[in-house]
Amino acid sequence: MDEADFPSELEKIKKDDIPEIFELVKKAVLKVTGGRRTGMMLALADLGEGENFWIGGYHIMTSNAIVMNTRSLDYITENHPNLLKYYTFEILMHEYLHTLGIMLPYTPLHHLLFKHLKTDVLVMTSGNISDPQDSQVHGDKQDKT
């Protein structure tokens, strides 16, 4: 399957068939990046909403779970049903890429960094020191990089 076939494959899926959309996301990511994550679970939960925002979904770090917000799915189903499978695909793609450690540029700052650094890849980290797992211990010294 070529990358160009993914939109036509998505068209064949029923708009509310979330597991099938998730399978297509995994196929697309494997084809394009060569990466995959086995044993992933997909959960649905009411994550609430704000006055001008909602959380579409999230990946629980160090877990095998992606959680999608039923509140946003309900809103789109009621108000924009023709967009449901595309929205679902985008949220699942975004979160599945996170499980592989891949983040797509989505803020103006990210786009400026790519433009001015003239690179295809940036390696980013929060730089937070939270526990020894993030550090390497060598005898009585710790490398805090």
pLDDT classification of 137: cutoffs 50, 70, 90: very low
CATH of domain 3-104: 3.30.2010
Locate 75 and state its tokens: 């809103």
Domain ranges across the chain: 3-104
pLDDT classification of 106: cutoffs 50, 70, 90: confident
pTM assigned to the model = 0.74
Q: Do 97 and 104 contact (CB within 8 A), yes or no?
A: yes
